[in-house]
Chain A
């Protein structure tokens, strides 16, 4: 398995609180991605990074921000969590664009 660790694996929090999810990789891959997975929608890209401090928006980026201060870590932040952000969040990595992506095991986030 690709060396991808997501933390925490589960989190329950309240509406309006800030939340940060962490993705850590040991593969030294340049590209990192954050997706959310919801029933009937498959996986939707939130943000991605193509290098340290280089990030860009995906198709569902509203309400989310990201940061990548070093190659191995990619953080996803919900500044003020809303119930619509209850989801399972997956981090993925790839060596190059348009190449296979390898996924972590996800973080289940519940916002009450």
Chain B
């Protein structure tokens, strides 16, 4: 059973537009939700993360929105740029637990 479900699988956005990637989880014990960005030939790199005590976290053009009751969280990329073209993964884990569960990834292509 997939612990974290991510959508869409791929996304095409025009430069300057907003990219939105969604994730849903099942385990209500999860309390840490990071997003990773991966470029071809590289490992995933932490982009931004949130804990469920807040509903939103913003870092520059990247925002995580968190809906605890719906067990959903999403990544918003404002003013998307061609350099944002990459694969994005959401993940979830719980405190004092060594395992992260990753979504299946979203390949973002920002058109110039």
Contacts and interface: CB of A to CB of B under 8 A. Distances in A.
Contacts of A45: 99-100
B102 A42 contact: yes
Contacts of A44: 102
Given A41-B104, A50-B98, A58-B99, A102 B46 contact: yes
B105 to A, nearest CB: 5
Given A98-B95, A98-B96, A100-B34, A40 B104 contact: yes
Contacts of A42: 6, 89, 102-105
A48 B102 contact: no
A101 B46 contact: yes
A70 B109 CA distance: 41
Chain A, interface SS category: strand
Interface string B1-32: 00000100100000000000000000000011
Interface residues of B, number: 27
Give the size range of A's interface with the partner: 20 to 34
B95 to A, nearest CB: 5
A90 interface: yes
Interface string A52-77: 00001011000000000000000000
Given A42-B104, A105-B41, A100 B99 contact: no
Interface of A: 4, 31, 33, 35, 40-45, 48, 50, 56, 58-59, 90, 92, 97-98, 100-106
Interface of B: 6, 9, 31-32, 34, 36, 41-46, 49, 89, 91, 93-100, 102-105
